[in-house]
Every structure is written in C-alpha cells, then in structure tokens.
Structure 1
Amino acid sequence: MKTFKNIALTLLSSTLFFACSSDDDNNTSTAKANANVTFDARVGSADFALDTPYTINGTSYQFDGLRYWIGNVEFVNANNETVAFEDSYFLMEETKAVAVQEGDFTYPAKKRETFGLNNLPVGNYTKIRFTVGVDAVYNDNLSLQAGELSQLNGMTNISWMWHTSYIFSSLKGKNTASNQAITVETGLNANYRTVEITLATPFEVKANQVNTLGLNVDVAKIVDGIDLAATPTVSASTPTVMTAVANNFRDKVFSVKSVE
C-alpha cells in the first residue's frame, strides 16, 4: 500500500510540475515588453545639429530643420512572423519654431529622436520595417487622425494638390558660401516609401528591461545625387528630384547603429 501511495504522489507531483511548466511556457510565449526606437541624426560621422556648417559633396551647408514622418512600424522575428503597429505615426525632428496656419499658431522648437512602442512580444527580431511619409488614407483626408498626425505641426501643404496633404519629410537650411536657401521636401502618395532593415545582430526583446534599437539617419544621404545648386527647392514642382529624395530615404538614409 505504501508503494502504491508513493507512486500516486509521484504521478501527482509530475502532473502538477507539468501543468506549472506549461503555464510558465505560455506566459513566456505571450509576455510583452516595451521597446524604444532611436533615430540618431548625423552627417556622415558627425552628429547633426542646427546652425552648424557641414561639408556635403564639396559644398558647405547649415540647417534650420530636419523633420520626417515614421509610420506603420513592423518587427519580423526569427520565425519570420511579423508584429505590426498599424497606424503608428511619429514625427521625428530637430527644428526651430515653425509658423503654422499663416502665423496664427507657432509650433515650438523641438528635438525628438526616439519613440516608444508598448506590448511588443518578447523574442528575437531580425528585421524592422517602417514607412517614411503618410499613407494615402490619411494623406488624402486630414480629418482622419492616427498616431501623432495633426495639421498643427506645420507638416502640411496646400499648394501641392487641390487639397491639403502632408509633407512627408523636410530638410531646410542654406548654402553657407552663397547664402542660397535650400528646402528639400517630399510628399504626395507616389513618394510614400517603406524601409526594411535586416539586423545583423538580432534585437532581443526581454521583459522587465529597457529594449532599445538604435538607427543612424545620415542627413547627407537625403540629398545624395541631388544638385542643390541647380535645384535649391525640391517640391512637387520638381517631381523627378522629389522622387529621388524619397528613394534616398528608402535605400540610403537609415542604417543600424546599436541593438540593446
């Protein structure tokens, strides 16, 4: 009888252990964490700062503002499964104060290089995807809101189309030698771009810690291949050049800085 009781207790203990282990496994597989994504603006190897001269393609420039929309962030894990943060829009910027609505409102000077994402499942991620710009659903109808989209941030333009639409990216400054002002902007639905970056070192997201993925943003690459002396203002009136800038954002501007 004692042997039978011992066997029964052993089986019961094993059952309880298995149940607890299964619960732990389930909790681990469904655990969520918070993550930060940082976009570190640079000019080549130098840190980007306003009112600071930089030599780009043999010409000296200094800048008054850098602004661009990052949206629809996705992470791809080691199993090729995608975690999507749909309708997530973040305005990344380093800018002086911006007059909005013909000066009726002033958007304050601001520097913002990081945004946070909540409830990212723990695990290893091998790719990040995001868009530069605003997708057609929101770009064609500014009464719809998602993420940080707003008409009060000075990132809309009524002159590009028959209705107001968003400016996707904006780089403003001047040629320091000639004092020629430069404005390099993208917009319009055709210039909405998706960026995909493969991470050589997986982004390991763990619970109960700060998880940070750092990306470099090379401002010089925004105007790579662009003759700013010939086209100091890039806008819808220069569609070929605007498309080239949009492609630069997709193909050249972003790279991995750090995975923590």
Structure 2
Amino acid sequence: MKKQNLFFAAIAALVFTSCDKTEIKEVEKIVYADQAGSLSLTFDARYGDSDFELNKKYPYQLVNSEDTYDLEFEFNRLRYWVSNVKLVDKDNKEHALPDSYYLVEETNEIEVEHLINGEKYPAKKREKVTIKDIPSGEYKAIKFSIGVDQKYNDNITLTAGELGSLNGMGVSDGWMWFTSYKFLTLAGTMHWAAGTPTSKALSWETGSNELFDGAEKTIELATPLKIDAQNSAKITLDVDVKELLSATDQPWTNNSISQSKKELMKAFRDAFLSKSLTFKEAGSVSVEAN
C-alpha cells in the first residue's frame, strides 16, 4: 500500500509541476525551393528625365504642321488598370496569374459626384504591385493588359482582384453612370508658357471593350528571373508621362479625349503602350526563411 501511495503521489507531483510551468517549443519552419514565390512590379512615373509629380508645371514644346509652341502641363491625376498578368517561362509556356487586377495611380483628392454626403476619394500614390503565389520557375517575360476585360467591364458589380464598384475608377472616376471602367486617365491643366495667361483643363481617358483588344504589353527580360519560396523577383518599368502627350499634335484643341473620340482614345492608349511604358530593370532577391 505504501508503494502504491508513493506512485500516486509522484503522478500528482508531475501534474502540478506541468500546470505551474508550461514549456513552449517553437517548431522550425521548413521552406521548400519548389514552393510558390512573389513578384513586385513597379511602375515608376517620370516626365522626361525628371521624377513625375502632381501640381507641378512641366515644359512641353509642341511641334506640328502649323508651328512650334511652348506649353506647360500641370497634372493632377494619372490612373490606369493593370490586368491579366501572365509570366512566360524559359520554355515559352505562359502562366496566367488569377485575379490579377491592379489599380496604379497618382491622384489628388477627387470628389465623387454620384455619391451622397460629399464623399471624396482621397489623394493617393501607388506605383508598386506585389503579386504572390507565383508558381516556382524561371521566367523570361511578363505580359499584362492596360484596362479591364469585357466580363468585368460589362458588369462592375463583379469583383476580382482589386476590381469593384467601390474601388478606384469604378466609382470616383467612372463614366456612363458606372456601367464600365475607365482604363487609363490623365488629367490636369495646360498653359501657354509665355505671352498670355490662357489655360485649359486637360482630361484624357480611354475605355470600352473594343479598346481592350490590342491593349496587351509584353516585356522581355534580358536574363530570366528565378521565382520560388527562396527567391522573390522585382521588375521596374518606366512610365514617361511626357510621351503620353504625343497622342495628338493638337492638344489645345483636343484637350478632352473620351468616348466621343474613339480614334484619339486609341492613339492615347497606343502612346502609353508603345512609347510611355518601357522596361527599366529586373532582378531576383534571396528570401530568408522565417
């Protein structure tokens, strides 16, 4: 009986000791090289050789068939949708990244006319997009579109990625009473540089399903990027706003570009894709396991 009592006493002591002092051990995280990785995609806005800033006057020399003119442009808004991102691996296989809809923007505060109580869209600057869950591999090119494909453009109540009627150009910068998205918009004021104080508002925008066709941009990389759980990638693109002004040689006359001017919308879109948007640099970064 004494031995049995001693046994139960020992068990009780162990129980009370466990209650008084609980030891927690951290389990080491194991990272496998073939797990998904991430990519940061930066759209670095510039004006020629200068950094792009809102509410700052930039010189622009306009040369057309009539004469040469010195103007100044002062911007208050640059916004566009980046969508349908695809990565091309070293074997030329395309990997479409699901729900890849991102709003890149630099804008002053915007009044939301269609909402009550005087709501305003806050001033924002967003140049960097981070894409996660990219299948591990080596990629030699990236493709994406500027705008929103027909499925979502025809029904802005649908959500995917950052799309939605309460985000970005779906509300504060929408048109036709929210029936579709604007794909690309540039707004501000243009001034004669000298001789007269005359100024005009600038409002250029693109949209419509027909303009989404042909809106894809392919960026070829000099060296393939390795992406996996241990290697994230970075791609930086330049967006030269000065090149966007080449969409027309009559900006004073065509200070407003919208749905009623389809050819100018196309020219504006093409100026963005072929002249303004260019490759800057890319690289892989080793990720330390946490």
Q: Please give the range of the TM-score, normalised by the shorter of the 2 chains.
A: 0.7 to 0.9
Residue identity matched to 2:191: T
- Match of residue 116 from structure 1: 130
User: Where does 1:85-164 land on structure 2 (aligned, <5 Å)?
Assistant: 85-102=97-114, 104=116, 105-152=119-166, 153=168, 154-158=172-176, 164=179
TM-score by length of 2: 0.74
Match of residue 185, structure 2, among 167, 170, 185: 170
- The residue number in structure 2 matching 1:55 is 59
User: Which amino acid letter does the alignment assign opposite residue 45 of structure 1?
Assistant: D
Q: Which moved more, 1:104-113 or 1:53-62?
A: 53-62
- Say whether 1:213 aligns with 2:228: no
What is the RMSD computed on CA atoms of the aligned residues? Answer: 1.8
In the TM superposition, what are the counterparts of 1:7-26 in structure 2 within 5 Å? none
Aligned to 2:23: none
Larger Rg: 2
Give 1:178-257 correspondences, 5 Å limit. 178-192=198-212, 193-226=215-248, 227-257=250-280
1:148 CA displacement: 0.9
Separation in 1 of the partners of 2:273 and 2:131?
22
Please tell me the residue identity of whatever aligns with 1:243: K
Q: Is the 8 A contact 1:202 1:259 kept in 2?
A: no
Residue identity in the other structure for 2:199: N
How far apart are the structure 1 equivalents of 2:85 and 2:147?
12
Match of 1:35 among 36, 39, 44: 39
Distance 1:72 1:189 in 2: 14
- Output the amino acid matched with 1:128: I
How far 1:76 moved relative to its partner? Answer: 0.4
Q: 1:218 to 1:255 in 2, by over 3 A?
A: same
TM (norm. structure 1) is 0.82
* 1:22-46: CA deviation from partner (whole Å, max 9, x where unpaired): xxxxx54x32111110110111221
Q: Name the SS of the counterpart of 1:50 in structure 2.
A: coil
Unaligned runs of at least 5 residues, structure 1: 1-26
Alpha-carbon separation, structure 2, partners of 1:60 and 1:101: 29
Alignment length (residue pairs): 230
CA shift for structure 1 position 86: 3.1
Aligned equivalents of 2:243 and 2:98: distance in 1?
Answer: 27
Partner Cα separation in structure 2 for residue 151 and residue 170 of structure 1: 17
**Counterparts of 1:181 and 1:103, CA distance in 2:** 24
